[in-house]
Amino acid sequence: MSNLAKVAKARAEDSVDTLLARRNALMGPNAPLLYESPLYLTEGRGVWLFDDKGRRYLDAYNNVPHVGHSHPAVVEAVTKQLGMLNTHSRYVSKVVLDYHEQLLSIVDLPQARGVLTCTGSESNELALRMARHITGHAGIIVTDYTYHGNTAAVAELSTAFDVNPTGLPNYIRAIRAPALPPKVQRGEGSPTEETLKAAYLKEVKDAIAYFDSHGIGVAAILLDPIFSTDGLPDVVPGFVKEAVELVHQAGGLYIADEVQPGLGRCGETWWGYQLHDAQPDIITLGKPLGNGYPVAGLIGRAEIVDRFRSEVMYFNTFGATPVACAAGSAVLQVIERENLIDNARETGSLMLRKLSELTSKHDCIGDVRGKGLFIGVELVEKGGRYEPDSKMAKRVIEGMRNEGVLISKIGKYDNVLKIRPPMPFTAEHVTQFVDSMDLVLSNLR
């Protein structure tokens, strides 16, 4: 028996425990896994995931399968193109050009250009390269608990991870996410929106002044328009628009990271940046584009992309392949054909309302907020104190998993439940989700 045949036989006989042992031996014991008792998933269909025992789980977390796990239209498009041709992007391809036209048609950047990559990390790194090359500056402004990828260039400004034990380098400045207070803390005695906006904008001004005083200059402000990893806060009105204006006045660019909010997830528009009336110079895109096939990229103003392309050699072997573009095209067609942006708005509104109703029953819920099918439930300590409760968040996530529902957490204190399901989520799924949440919280009293 060959070595490959022996490995295949071993695979067929593996239990979850032996798989975990193999995983630790092959990938190392510190490779990340979710849950205290990790899931062994074998199949996905629509909003459902199935484990090795056939138990199904309602997926309310994963945004990679944007139009649903194993969507038939995406599977068919990828399979058909893979059986015909798949090459790199230095040949002419109608499939590639068709997808670029479709993608550029849903942004409102005049004379836009597209550059495809494979991951959101690559897209953000390329956007930083463009911004620094075009402006001649190096400084980047980000929020103080954000994630933009895991290459060296973007990991050092992904402030949600402790990648800089000695602090941020002098060409990166972090500002607070422009959050409104939780709803229960608003009203008489709380700061006004204008007061908050002025305070947050001062941090932007201070960052620009710091770069200027050190001869660095500001190249860009890089924002997730809905501040996902920061905890999905309700954003101070007008902040993003005025912050971008300050950066533009200083000679920098606005990069909108749409990996999480993009492709209609917010339920009102195709893109998160459109919520703020602030047009980006570069939009970065990632995992939802291909519904599981690695498709990512950026869209930039023509003068930026054209100049960069003329002065810097950039090539990505697996970016803009015919198969990648076939997958991306199928995703866009499904979103429109199945009215998934409208669904995100309507179903997300229902979920927001139903989860908000739980606040009167469970005093550990400090706030419920979000846009479309991206919702955060902030958990706080009981007894009237508004203190983050990360331990409760972890227990709820485990409890929901035991009830057959998958979620995660975000925020500086790991206390905001992250609810970000595939876009075909329906009212029926909302009912199951909210009932499960109610039960789990009741059991944890």
Where does the chain hold its CATH 3.40.640.10 domain(s)?
72-337
Could you tell me which of 331, 258, 260, 263 has the C-alpha nearest to residue 293?
331
Distance from C-alpha of 242 to C-alpha of 223, rounded to nearest angstrom: 13
- What average pLDDT does the segment 29-36 reach? 92
Q: Over the stretch 165-209, which tens digit does the pLDDT of each residue have?
A: 567 999 999 999 999 988 877 767 788 999 999 999 999 999 999
Using the structure block, give the residue that is written with the tokens 């971008």: 244
Q: And the tokens for 381?
A: 């300590």
Quick check: 164 pLDDT over 80?
no
Q: Cβ–Cβ contacts within 10 Å for residue 214, how many?
A: 12
* Gyration radius of the chain over CA positions: 22
Distance from C-alpha of 278 to C-alpha of 262, rounded to nearest angstrom: 15
- Predicted local confidence at residue 8, as pLDDT: 62
Average pLDDT of the chain? 94
Q: Cβ–Cβ contacts within 10 Å for residue 176, how many?
A: 16
Could you tell me which of 295, 287, 131 has the C-alpha nearest to residue 217?
131
Where does the chain hold its CATH 3.90.1150.10 domain(s)?
21-70+339-443
Quick check: 124 pLDDT over 60?
yes
- Predicted local confidence at residue 383, as pLDDT: 63
- Predicted local confidence at residue 24, as pLDDT: 93
- % pLDDT > 90, the chain: 89
The model's confidence at residue 6, banded by pLDDT at 50, 70 and 90, is: low
Distance from C-alpha of 70 to C-alpha of 44, rounded to nearest angstrom: 6
Half-sphere exposure of 44 (CA within 13 A, CB side): 21
Quick check: 10 pLDDT over 60?
no
Quick check: 5 pLDDT over 70?
no
- Predicted local confidence at residue 430, as pLDDT: 99
Report the CATH fold assignment for 21-70+339-443. Answer: Aspartate Aminotransferase, domain 1 (3.90.1150)
- What is residue 121's three-state secondary structure? helix
Written out in words, the top-level CATH class of the domain with range 72-337 is: alpha beta
